Amino acid sequence: MNINKTLENGKLTFILDGRLDSTTAPRLQDVLIPAFNEGGEVGLDFAQLAYLSSAGLRVLLMALKTAKTKGASMSISGVSQEIMEVFEMTGFSEMLTFT
């Protein structure tokens, strides 16, 4: 998985391309969790994300908890129908913010 980031109007966005699974989830965790240290808004662009496993869900849950404790926010954009079904089946669709 490739992870690119952009900063626009104070919002840091991570653009994910590929598969978010047990192999790549630690890399996302390493860049995403520290991004909440300064509060603010963090976005995840899933437009090019092909697959999301339970390891990826774990990182997203950790990110949500970290954002809440740091006074930051997290949103997800570009979610495919297949990945949205994963969010809906696991209840994550109720916890996440989609833009």
Cβ atoms of 60 and 21 closer than 8 Å: no
* CATH superfamily name and code, 2-95: STAS domain (3.30.750.24)
**Token pair recorded at residue 12:** 């840091």
Nearest CA to 11 out of 39, 41, 34 is that of 41
Q: Which residues, at least 6 apart from 93, have a Cβ–Cβ distance to it below 8 Å?
A: 84, 87
pLDDT per residue over 17-67, tens digit each?
999 999 999 999 999 999 998 789 999 999 999 999 999 999 999 999 999
What is the model's pTM? 0.94
Domains of the chain, residue spans: 2-95
Cα(89)–Cα(20) distance, rounded to whole angstroms?
A: 17
